[in-house]
Structure 1
């Protein structure tokens, strides 16, 4: 059963080489750039594809007649492919959860602090020869609203509490075991000084933070998104940010990589990172090890 890691970048390559052992199933590695149109040729003869964060359009995968499994490196496969459509083609999509709770939560806190203290804006100004100290938000005593109490959300809540913030949370189903006061979403949005999105993306959560929800946020509040861009109505968010009523720190975007001329890249009150919240050597090692184990399980399964 031929397996191809289609988009092994320069950061993952040495980690994959270290993690992939002689007793593991053989996995070919592609490090060369490609477009969606190249997928049928690239995946010819492959039953299994390991995908970091490359888009897999349904019409192209339909032409990959040997493909039966996609192992997506993370939880957000639905942002890069139509899972139901692929399954209708006989392609099973496997995702990996819980490998980077600490990494993503720490990045969330890093974005929160950077946005609250205008770190990126002052960095850009100094590099341009402008010395302009900016007054920021002190986080101690402020309200942190955590939207989603999975593994990442709980870790964000713990770290936020460690900064002296008062943490409240909303989850689609009550999570009394999380040890965090839970409130309804509208209350969270209207009272939080910082709103952290830590939800998975599905039909129920797609676009759930729209114009009406954004309008409920306090003046001067911060929106942090290290989860999925499609949780938020992008046009409504840009409108709020353009008015300067709220600020945002974003690690995920509706189309990646984000274009330099995109409105979000031109707004002063936005701190941006390149979908990197989960990228630490520790998290990547566990992620790749678990991906290889999924390939092992697939390889050992009886042929259908």
Structure 2
């Protein structure tokens, strides 16, 4: 095996890698490299691990020996110029399944936070305002899962376990259905919580647009732990601002980090987290172990 470089290790992954059997000559760069640093790191690499670093055609040109990019997750196309990689004979591998439970649990946590107004009360109390806010009981609500892959199925099972009525939608037939499947229009119109679990591609980009948002209940909660591009952000901001939608609980954004002056952060009926749905010790350990298995 040629030179292996992990270009953007986090302190979390560095800590976990210490307990795993890494190749002795593996190069681990901690932190997010600037373009010039990235090109230096991959100049002699044959295999690259990429967690969340944007790689352009120009970056790939700086790596004449590069033949494999192992993307530590599923959303490689959001970070890597796939056409440029294909043209240069570089294979792109993704890793699925490692974080299904972790992301599903995060989606549920965001939904429960919105339904019980936990973050809203926390922010209010910190400013000196004490007001117990009413919440909603789960057994009275329908939890809609959009996308019934591994994460969607995990989320559906968790929601059912908490007492929600659960309905799902998928673009194609699925086996091992943990809940009844309905049309997307029916799900949007009847669900009290709508949780997105789709891959982002040409068919799903902007799927939840102004029209889709208009089908939802005025007090519905939308949760997105998948990809920001599934949602039309300006349309979402408008719906929330005009109280045509109850709450948005979001872990992914068109721009990350999210700018402090972003319109979403000015709205009281929005809960945000920092693209952290997959970040548990157990999930990251599974991810790194799978990545190592592929280079041995």
- TM band (smaller chain): over 0.9
Are 1:153 and 2:152 an aligned pair? yes
Distance 1:58 1:238 in 2: 34
* 1:254-273 superposed matches below 5 A: 254-273=254-273
The corresponding residue for 1:283 is 283
> Aligned Cα RMSD in Å?
1.5
Q: Give the TM-score taking structure 2 as reference length.
A: 0.95
The corresponding residue for 2:125 is 126
Deviation, 1:32, is 4.2
Structure 1: which 5+ runs fail to align? 297-304
Distance 1:231 1:95 in 2: 20
Distance 1:261 1:78 in 2: 27
1:227-279 per-position Cα deviation (integer Å, ceiling 9, x unaligned): 11111112211211222222110111111111111111221111111111111
The corresponding residue for 1:204 is 203
CA contact (8 A) 2:7 2:28 kept: yes
SS at match of 1:205: coil
1:32-67 per-position Cα deviation (integer Å, ceiling 9, x unaligned): 442234322221111111111122223322333232
SS at match of 2:128: coil
SS at match of 2:168: strand
The corresponding residue for 1:3 is 4
Are 1:194 and 2:193 an aligned pair? yes
Are 1:69 and 2:68 an aligned pair? yes
Distance 1:121 1:37 in 2: 42
Aligned length: 294
CA contact (8 A) 1:39 1:64 kept: no
Pair 112,93 (structure 1): closer, same or farther in 2 beyond 3 Å = same
Structure 2: which 5+ runs fail to align? none
CA contact (8 A) 1:146 1:153 kept: yes
Distance 1:40 1:191 in 2: 50
The corresponding residue for 1:221 is 220
Are 1:235 and 2:220 an aligned pair? no
1:207-227 per-position Cα deviation (integer Å, ceiling 9, x unaligned): 111111111111110000111
Structure 1 runs (4+) deviating above 3 angstroms are none
SS at match of 2:139: coil
